[in-house]
Amino acid sequence: MNFKLKDIGPQLMTVIAVVLVFGFFTYNAQVNMENRGIDFGYGFLSQESSFDVQFSLIEYDGSHSYFRAYLVGLLNTILVSVIGIFLATILGVLVGIARLSPNYLINKFAAFYVEFFRNIPLLLQIFFWYFAALRALPLPQDAEAMFGISFLTIKGLFVPAFIWENFNIFFYSIVAAIVAIIVIRYRAKKLQETIGKQTPVLLISIGLLFILPLLSFLIGGVRLSFEIPVLKQLATTSFIYEGGVSLPPELIALALSLSLYTATFIAECVRAGIQGVGKGQKEAAASIGLTQNQVLKLVVMPQALRIIIPPTTNQYLNLTKNSSLAAAIAYPDLVLVFAGTALMQTGKAIEIVSITMFTYLSLSISISLFMNWYNNKIAITEK
């Protein structure tokens, strides 16, 4: 134990400062809550919530507990984030590549899209897609059928519901196809490394993904039928579709605005990544006889991804956190259901806000851990 004060002094001061600040706030909150007769505790989570939620992925109504309401909100947040991340990634990659296109029109159009959407505050865009687009949509009774079976109306998108028979067999056939694809890819790589033989992996993969599920229909006894939404009259001028699946317009508007906004940033990450790969790399690859596609797939992308992934992770985190703007347009996410209605009904501000903050923290850390894992996986492995 031969510490020098000079070494540990600053650290110690910092620790004391942090403890004091936290201690002060906790103590202060305790005293104030006691003075105002507010109890602290998480017991309310098991109480009956007695409010309904518009849209839920799990079975829920007001007779369930506040904890269940929390889960409903959390799942809705995850749902819109996953949809948003998925769409934003696809759109972002496309636009990022388009920005490097030698075609003047495509190039400028992509540049315009990026500059336009990333420079307008997200909340305004959400309001725009919700209120402007909402007003433009037809009432249920005026809606034109899309492909004869789906209806996009002011009350939401109504699509047919899938009714499966022997769904588990269909599910296993897809799992089997995926396992087979992994094995084939592995074998193909081995073959190429040992005897240099090329296998059309992509074609085989797509084939497998089609043929196995198809077989499950033909010989596995899987049946699929559709429940098509039907117009129902509620009152003289008030209609709704019954049956099928309905996606609320709030979800559509939110997912759309989140992905359109975030895609602009991802596009810039992608452009930076591709431009970050040295020109010499491409020329060298071409000079040893690789085709254009091979250059992109084997030389440019593996190097570009390393530049693209870390800032894109940031965008995924942003999108997830921005999804809390849902409260503005009545999409029942975690903030609206739990930090909104539940907070109001129980008055447990500190408890509910702490749970909500912890939840967003966990979500963000999970995304970032996954992306770090992926980043490490594609990092240069020194031989």
Partner 1 sequence: MFKYLKQLTSLVAMVAVLFTFTTESMAAKKSKTLKNTQKKGFVRCGVSQGLPGFSNADAAGNWTGVDVDVCRAVAAAVLGDANKVKFTPLSAKERFTALTSGEIDILSRNTTWTLSRDADIGLTFVGVNFYDGQGFMVRKSSGITSTSQFKNGISACTNIGTTTELNMRDFFNSRGISYEPVAFEKADEVVAAYDAGRCDTYTTDKSGLAAQRTKMKNPDEHIVLPETISKEPLGPVVRQGDAVWEDIVRWSLNTMIEAEEYGITSANADSMKTSENPQIKRLVGAEGEMGAAFGLDNEWNLRIIKQVGNYGESYKRNIADTGILPDRGPNQLWTKGGILYVPPSR
Q: Which of 177, 186, 179, 183 is nearest to 206 (CA)?
A: 177
HSE (side-chain half, CA atoms, 13 Å) at 127: 6
Cα-to-chain-centroid distance, residue 344: 28
Which of 10, 14, 16, 298 is the binder for partner 1 (CB under 8 A)? 16
Which range of residues in 82-90, 157-165, 227-235, 354-362 is near partner 1 by CB under 8 A? 227-235
> For partner 1, what does the binding mask look like between residues 114 and 143, x meaning CB under 8 A?
-----------------x--xx---x----
Cβ atoms of 331 and 254 closer than 8 Å: yes
Is residue 234 a contact point for partner 1 (CB under 8 A)? yes
Is residue 195 a contact point for partner 1 (CB under 8 A)? no
Q: How many helices (H) and strands (E) does the chain have?
A: 14, 8
CA distance 378 to 369: 14
Nearer to partner 1, 238 or 292 (CB): 238
Beta partners for 48?
A: 65
| Total chain residues near partner 1 (CB under 8 A) | 54
CA distance 190 to 197: 9
Helix axes 66-98, 104-118, angle to 10 degrees: 150
CB of 327 to partner 1, least distance (A): 5
> For partner 1, what does the binding mask look like between residues 24 and 63, x meaning CB under 8 A?
x--x---x-x-xxxxx----------xxxxx-------x-
Q: Which of 254, 179, 164 is nearest to 216 (CA)?
A: 164
CB of 320 to partner 1, least distance (A): 20
Which of 93, 240, 247, 307 is the binder for partner 1 (CB under 8 A)? 240
Residue 63 Cα distances to 85, 166, 352, 376, angstroms: 33, 32, 20, 46
Which of 123, 349, 361, 365 is the binder for partner 1 (CB under 8 A)? 349
Q: Which of 244, 247, 246 is nearest to 225 (CA)?
A: 244
Nearer to partner 1, 213 or 340 (CB): 340
Which of 65, 303, 345, 359 is the binder for partner 1 (CB under 8 A)? 345
Which range of residues in 8-16, 180-188, 354-362, 366-374 is near partner 1 by CB under 8 A? 8-16
Chain positions contacting partner 1, by CB under 8 A: 3, 8, 12, 15-16, 19-20, 23-24, 27, 31, 33, 35-39, 50-54, 62, 131, 134-135, 139, 154-155, 232, 234-238, 240, 242, 248-250, 327-330, 332, 336, 340-341, 343-347, 349
